Each structure stands twice: as C-alpha cells, then as structure tokens.
Chains A and B, each alone.
Chain A
Amino acid sequence: MIDSGDTAFIIICTAMVMLMTPGVGLFYGGMVRRKSIISMITLAFVAFAVVSIQWVLFGYSLAFGTDIGGFIGSLDYFALNGVGLDGDGIPDMLFMVFQLVFAGLTLAILTSGLAERVKLSSFIVFGLLWTTLVYDPLAHWAWGGGWASQLGALDFAGGTVVHISSGFGALAAALVIGKRLGFGQESMKPSNIPLTLLGGALLWFGWFGFNAGSELAADGIAANAFVVTNIAAAAGALAWMGASSIHGKPSSLGMISGAVAGLVAITPAAGFVDAMSAIVIGMIAGLICYAALLFRVKNGLDESLDAWAIHGVGGFWGALATGIFCTAAIGGVDGLLYGNGGQFVIQLIDAVAAMTYAFVVTYILALIVEKTIGLRVDEDEEYVGLDIAQHGESILI
C-alpha cells in the first residue's frame, strides 16, 4: 500500500539530499586554491553522475538485492528489473532513488583526499570501482539485510555507510596519491571562504532530508530526526568555533566545519536519541573532529579538505554515540546510558569493521588505478591547476 503523505515527503527529502552533493562541491571548492576551484566543484557533480548510472544498472541491486552471505546483495534488481511503482508505504522506485542520492553524495565526500591533483578520467574509473566495492557492500551490511543489520547495529541514516566509508576512504586515497606539490612549504590557504560557507549552508539544509527522510515515513521519528539533526549541527558549530578561538580568532571555517561534524555524528543516531543527547553528541563531535584536524596537520598528512577528520572521525564517534545515548523511548533500543552496554559493543564492532574495510579496500583500489592508468596529473598540470589542466577553464579572466 502506498501512503501518499510518506511518498510526498520522501520525494522532497530525496531532492534535498541531492542538493548536498553540489553542497560538498562548494564546501570543498572554497577551501582549495583558485586554480582548482572549478575542478573541485566538478568532481562532486561527476561523482554524482557516475554513481547515478552505476546505481540504476547494478549498484542498487548489490546493496539491496537478496542477501548473499551477509556481505553483498544479488543481481536481482539488475537494471532496475523488478523495481516497481508499488511498495510498502513508498514506491520501490522512490526507495531506490532515495538511496541513490546517498551513494552519489558519499563518493563526492571522498574527493577531499584527491583535491587539486587527481586526473579526472582516473577519478571516474576509481569512483566506479569504489562505489561498487566499498559503498555498495557497506550499504548492504547496514540496510540491505547484511551482517551488521543481522547483528543489530544501528545506523539510522548512514554514519558508517556514508561517513566512515568516505572519511577513511579519503585518507587511504590521499596516502596513495601523495601530497600536493609544495604541501607544508607553501601557503595553501582557502581561497574563497564564502563559497565554503554557502556549501555548508546547503549541507545543513539538505541534511534534514538526509536524516528525517531516513525514517522513510512522515511520522514522529522523522520529526525527532529533524530536531536532533539541527541541535547537533548547532552544538558542533559552537564547540569547534570555541575551541579554535583558543588558538586564534574564532574562524568561520571552524564554525562551519563544526556544524558539519555535528551533522555527521548525529546521522547514525538521529532516529534513536533525544534532543538533550544531541547537544552532547554534537558538541563532542565539534571537539574531537577539530582535534583530528590538528593531528592531521601536525603529522603532515595531506588529506586535503578533512573528510577524514570530519566525516571519518565524526562518523566513528557518531556510531559509538548511538550505542551510548540511544533510548527505547525514541527508537525502541536502549544504549549504554540506559544500562544496555551490549548495544555499545555492537556499535563498536560495526564501526571498526566499516573503518577497516573502507580504508583497506580503498587503499587497494587506489593503488590499482595508480599502477595502471595513474591517479595523478603530471607536475606541470598540477602547477597550472586542475581547472585549466583538466577542464580548459579558469575563474581568472
């Protein structure tokens, strides 16, 4: 039975989540040097386009087809075969496209680790491999009936599937592709912070569709997810901005990064925790993601735009936080705080497994692409900037 209210709601949420992908592009675009802004924004769109086609051909089926050994879905739904306009509450076709926008966004987040040095053609090949062999299995584990959901791991809207996977994937990809020329010696300050703030605004807005929509129904849990999402973003923004003011001025980049950190952390928890817990989850996310960023910079890692620090570490914290703060009063499951330590252990297992799998498989895939067609542009192209080298375009007159 199709519910028209639910269907209308999820159609709108799907469109909102789609807007997050260009949001990531703008968020990242403002942080790179002027010579690679177009490239950075374009990578997000390209990621979305590549995954859109992959998803309808076989990605959706790998994630949501009949379970094979708890690891991956079958090819039942190859080329959307059997994905109809009927369904339980919402049409199957709508569920498919709602999941599609998540998959597209996830690959876009990963471009952080390849910023200003990846070859566009190689990114398309790598992206196709990555979404097939990293994203699709992880989506299956959590939502498609795989081992994590059988174990009882909670991931409401994609803390492990979207954020741990892209964050740790970005770190692995950055290690394979290597640092940008001159990293650590030359200034690589963000060239357009307003662009990053605009991207952050689109992310914050789209995240309401991401988290509330993950209930797949227009009901009370969706409202709860909406509320805690906003609270965590606000708490994260204030916490990071406050912490960064210890080192200097309260930076706007820190503020918006903190908001995203809060949004990431609340993602797996949104349908399971209450509003007061969301303040704590968001605040801690702002602080530990900021610490992760400082750690990365101190260690000279060029995971350039901090997908690892914000999405990876924030996603990991969110998975654990779900196990701490979840309450039966909201989502039917109690966590550590309510005397159920077992849930925390399950969350820990799930997060560690997703992190390890994403990091190792991404590293291998990036290495395969690097050794065959090469991931990286040559030195002159990198110096001139990817806008001209890869697109023949430039924001300079």
Chain B
Amino acid sequence: MKKIEAIIRPEKLEKVSDALIERGHHAMTVTEVRGRGLQRGIALQFRGKEILVDLIPKIKIEMVISDNDAEEVIATIKEFARTGKNGDGKIFIFDVEKCTGVRDE
C-alpha cells in the first residue's frame, strides 16, 4: 500500500481529478496549500527591481492506493498536471503500514 502526496497547480486540479476518476481511482483528500520549491517562487519585475513572489498557492492531493495502482496514479497526475514550466509541483510516495476505516469493527 502506498500513499501519494502530490503538490500541483490549483488550476490543474479539475483535470487531474477527472482523469483519476476515469481510471477508477476515486479516493482522495485535497487541501489548499501554499509553498515554494527549488525556484523559491516567481520573480516579477517592478520599476526595474526584481520582486520575489514567495509561497505560491498550490493544491495538495493525498491518496492511499494499492502498490499495483501506484504507477498508473503517478503517471496520470504527471500527465494532467504538467505544463512543462517551473512550478508544476512534486509527487512524494510513501509506504503505508496499515489502513483502517473509522466504521470498521
């Protein structure tokens, strides 16, 4: 069992979510987050000076899936969240020890 944490562009959420549902991966938790990555934000020019816009709004998708599904889920997120520019995000994959539903006996 794997846990996927994907940090993506907010405007890509709809497409990514639709594509995951289409492939049968429904369960996910989505959080609005802000953060910075390797480029430390976006640099804007203002009156000749450079201004760094730090901590850009992103979406974090969390999914717990079977080992077999991991590859497809990761590939799907990559395909639909991608623009090819800085700031497309990251995907982290963790091993999950156990999962139990709140209603389970």
Interface residues of A (CB under 8 A from B): 34-35, 182, 186-187, 380-381, 383-384, 388-389, 392, 396
In the complex, what's the smallest C-beta–C-beta distance from B23 to chain A, in angstroms? Answer: 20
Q: Is the CB of A384 within 8 A of B44?
A: yes
Question: Chain B residues near A182 (CB, 8 Å)?
Answer: 11
Q: Which residues of B contact A (CB under 8 A)?
A: 11-14, 34, 42-44, 51, 53, 56-57
Question: What residues of B have a CB within 8 angstroms of the CB of A187 in the complex?
Answer: 11, 13-14
Q: Chain A residues near B34: list those with CB within 8 A.
A: 396
Interface SS, B side: strand
Q: Are A380 and B42 within 8 A (Cβ)?
A: yes
Contact A35–B57 (Cβ < 8 Å): yes
Taken together as a complex, chains A and B put the C-alpha atoms of A35 and B44 apart, in Å, by 15
Q: Cα distance A34–B42 when bound, in Å?
A: 18
B11 partner residues in chain A, CB cutoff 8 A: 182, 186-187
Residues of B within 8 A of A34 (CB): 57
In angstroms, Cα B87 to Cα A384, docked, is: 11
Is there an interface contact between A389 and B14, defined as CB atoms closer than 8 Å? no
A373→B56 CA distance, assembly (Å): 28
* 19 CB-based A-B contacts, threshold 8 Å: A34-B57, A182-B11, A186-B11, A186-B12, A186-B14, A187-B11, A187-B13, A187-B14, A380-B42, A380-B43, A383-B42, A384-B42, A384-B53, A384-B56, A388-B53, A389-B44, A392-B51, A396-B34, A396-B57
Residues of B within 8 A of A384 (CB): 42, 44, 53, 56
Q: Which residues of B contact A35 (CB under 8 A)?
A: 57
Asked if residues B44 and A381 are in contact (CB atoms below 8 Å), the reply is yes
With a CB–CB cut-off of 8 A, which chain B residues contact A396? Answer: 34, 57
CB distance from A378 to the nearest CB of B (A): 8
Give 9 nearest A-B pairs by CB, closest first: A186-B11, A187-B14, A384-B53, A380-B42, A384-B42, A388-B53, A381-B44, A182-B11, A389-B44
Give bound CA distance, A187 to B44, whole Å.
24
- Measured in the bound complex, the distance between the Cα atoms of B53 and A53 in whole Å is 34
**Residues of A contacting B53 in the complex (Cβ-Cβ under 8 angstroms):** 384, 388
**A389 (CB) vs chain B CBs: closest residue:** B44
A380–B14 CB distance below 8 A: no
By beta carbon, the residue of chain B nearest A377 is B44
A302 to chain B, nearest CB (A): 15
How far, in angstroms, from A380 to B86 measured CA to CA in the complex?
11
Chain B residues with CB under 8 Å of A389's CB are 44
Quote the shortest CB–CB distance from B3 to chain A (angstroms).
26
Provide the residues of chain A in CB contact with B14, threshold 8 Å.
Answer: 186-187
Q: How far is the CA of A383 from the CA of B43 in the complex (A)?
A: 12
User: In whole angstroms, what is the CA distance A124 to B33 when docked?
Assistant: 35
Complex CA gap A186/B59 in Å reads 14
**Chain A min CB distance to B1 (Å):** 31
Nearest A residue (CB) for B57? A396
